[in-house]
Structures are given as C-alpha cells and as structure tokens.
Amino acid sequence: MQTSVSALLLELGIILAALSVLGALARRFTLSPVPLYLLAGLAIGEGGIAPVPAASDFVETGAAIGVVLLLLTLGLEFSLTEFTASLRRHVPSALVDLVLNAVPGAVAGWLLGLDGIGILALAGATYISSSGIVARLLADLGRLGNRETPAILSVLVMEDFAMAAYLPLLSVLAAGGPWWQAALGVLIALGAMFAAFTASYRWGHHLGRLLAHPDAEQLLLRVLGLTLIVAALAELIHASAAVGAFLVGLTLTGETAARSRAVLSPLRDLFAAVFFLAIGLSVSPDELLPLLPAALALAAVTTVTKLITGRYAAWRDQVGRRGQLRAGTALIARGEFSVVIIGLVGTMHDSLAPLVTAYVFALAITGPILTRFAGALAPGEPQRTATTVRHRDSHQ
C-alpha cells in the first residue's frame, strides 16, 4: 500500500512538472499547449517511452472532471437568454454540419467494407468536434469575446444534442438489441435534454441565489458539487456530461458567475491538462502507424468540411471573413466523443479502432495549430464581449 501511494505521488509529480515545462514552452511561442499535452500522453501511454501505470487511474478520472470544468467555465462566460436565441438561429448550421461531416465517415466506412453499425460509428466519429479542446482553445487564444464564438458554441451544443440521440441508438444496435429499444432510448435522452434546457431557461435565475455565498470555499464546493451531479445525470441518459456542465454555467449570472470563474479557473486548468493528457494516454503508438495514411486522408477531407461548417455558421451571425475562418478552424479538432464511439463498437471491427484513433489524434494536434494561425482580429474589427452581455442580463 505504501509503495503504491509513493509510486502514485511520484508519477503525478513528474507528470505535472513535465506539463508545466511544456505549457511554458508553448506559451513562449504564443501557442496553445494542447498539442504538446497530447504528445506527452502518447509518450507515457501503453507502448510509450515512459509509461505511468500507477497514475493511469487518476488520469482517467481527472480527464472526466477536466472536460466538465472546461464546459462549466465556458458557460459562465455567456448569458442563457442570448445563447438560446443563438441556438434557434443556428438550426441550419447544425444541418450543414451533420451532412458535411457525417457523410465522409459513412462513405469511408462503406469503402472499407464495414457493416451498417461500423458505418454508423465512423460517421459519428467524423461528425462530432471535441467540446473540451475547443473550449480550451477559445480561452487560450483570448477568443471568448469574439463575434464568431456564439456560432461556434451553438454548433458544438447542437452536436452534443445529436449525440444524446446517437449514442443510445448506437449502443443498443451494437449490443444486438431490437429497434424499438433503440428508439425508446433516443426518445428518453432527447426528452430529458429538452426538459433540462426548459427548466434552466425558466427557473435558472433562482440557481444563482441558492449557490451564492461570500466564502470562496463554500461557493466552489456548491457550484462544483451541483455541476458534477448534473453531469452525472446527463451521462445516465446517454447525453453529454459537457452539455450538463455548460447548462449550469449558463444559468449563473452576475456576481455569482464572476466569482465562480475566479475560484474555478485554477482547478479547470489543472484538470484540463489532465484531460488532454488522457487522450494521448489512451493511444498506443503501434496502433497509429498501419492505418495512418487512411486516417490522414479522412482527416484532410473533414478538415475542409469543418472549415465550411464554421464559416457558414459565422456567416449567419454576419461575422466577417477573418471571423468565419477562425470559426471554421476552431471546430476541426476531434476528441473525447469519437473515442467513446469506438469504445462502443471497436471490438466488432478490428480496423475501426486504430483508424479512428489515428484520425482523432491527427486532428486533435493539427486543429489547435491551425486555429492559432487562423488570424487575429483585424484593426477595427468589432469584438463581442460576453462578460458585458452577462452583466447587462443580470440587471434586467
């Protein structure tokens, strides 16, 4: 017992020190540290150069907390009223996103000779962007206040809504269940998500008063505790824990939201780093090489389709060309959901898991790099300030 605790503490200490060095290196060149964290995870994963068996369980648990905190703090930047209006405006964007990004995966699955379930799984893996990576990029690059950001978030949330229907369907079909059971799972998940959004919209303003407390420790415990409960309930209905956390953040307004951001930010940064590390940790380098050419070809196609999706969504918000480009590159990265999809059906198809693993890893690294160089605000280009909007809404 003593030896295992010592090994855990030693490995965690080394991991955090290494992440600190990588983060400092990335920021020296004004880059997001996400690609370096992913490569670090690859180095310490199974088959890597420095495996960390004692710390792997902690990293897996911390990763789940990390994506919840990323989306919670992202939600704290925006008002529920404004975001709901943005969702309604971006239904066409969601349809464009679905068609452009699911079809390449379905076609690739058909060309590879996969069965219907395999085709459905690969279509989902190419469709869904990584909410966790995108949230961190927007914060790292100082783009939370940009005019294109509501369009990006609307697309992400609608993707997560689609996952609420998709994952129950895929899990039942992969397990050999009947169609009616899959349909029932979809209806339950969508109904629960709609009820949660409605409750948040109608009565969410009471939440801030319930959670507010002058003591920072009490505020942290209350907000984080509620967020984890909501995230767990979302997972139980095969919805996204990230959407549950995002909803909690949206419902908090005014001083409560501002103080919550302050107390949660250090915790978010810690567990976000663990989240990106875990994506790399889940990958074996030996699995990447055989199907890397096919994965890169698929990545190239879906990089273009996500660029088109983001540009279209930002165009609907009357954002200029630079903002459209930033929106498109922000959506490129794939991550946690694609890994979950493969976990449901990967054992059924020998080639599917390594293909999607290589695909996700390629886009999780190149997406942030492309986003960084997509272009800064042009001189005189207006910037939307989410904090100002939230402050205004809290006094209406």
Report pLDDT digits (tens) over 260-298.
999 999 999 899 889 888 877 777 777 777 788 989 999
Separation of alpha carbons 342 and 340, rounded Å: 5
Q: Which pLDDT score, from 0 to 100, does residue 150 have?
A: 92
CATH number corresponding to 60-394: 1.20.1530.20
Which tens digits make up the pLDDT trace of 127-172? 999 888 898 888 888 888 899 999 999 999 888 778 878 877 887 8
Percent of the residues in the chain that have a pLDDT greater than 70, as a whole number: 89
Q: What is the pLDDT of residues 328-363, one digit of tens each?
A: 999 999 987 787 787 777 566 777 878 888 898 889
The burial class, CB within 10 Å (0-12 / 13-18 / 19+), for 311 is: buried
For 8-63, give the DSSP string.
HHHHHHHHHHHHHHHHHHHHHTT--SHHHHHHHHHHHSTTSSS--GGGHHHHHHHH
Q: Any idea what DSSP says for residue 239?
A: S
Task: Report residue 86 as tokens.
Answer: 């943005």
pTM of the model: 0.78
pLDDT in tens, 212-265: 888 999 999 999 999 999 889 888 776 667 778 888 888 887 788 889 999 999
Give the model's confidence band at 3: pLDDT under 50 very low, under 70 low, under 90 confident, else very high: low
d(CA 343, CA 78): 33
Q: For residue 313, give Cα distances in angstroms to 51, 150, 379.
A: 42, 9, 23
Q: What is the pLDDT of residues 92-118, one digit of tens each?
A: 999 999 999 999 999 999 998 888 889
- The pLDDT assigned to 176 comes to 79
Cα-based angle 380, 331, 189 (whole degrees, multiple of 5) = 125
Mean residue pLDDT across the chain: 83
Q: Which of 178-182, 227-231, 384-388 has the weakest average pLDDT? A: 384-388
Whether 323 has a pLDDT exceeding 90, the answer reads yes
pLDDT tens per residue, range 189-203: 777 777 777 777 777
Q: What single-letter amino acid sits at 32?
A: S
What are the CB-based long-range contacts (under 8 Å, 24+) for 156-159?
156/129, 156/131, 156/331, 157/87, 157/243, 157/246, 158/87, 158/90, 158/91, 158/93, 158/94, 158/97, 159/94, 159/97, 159/127, 159/128, 159/129, 159/131
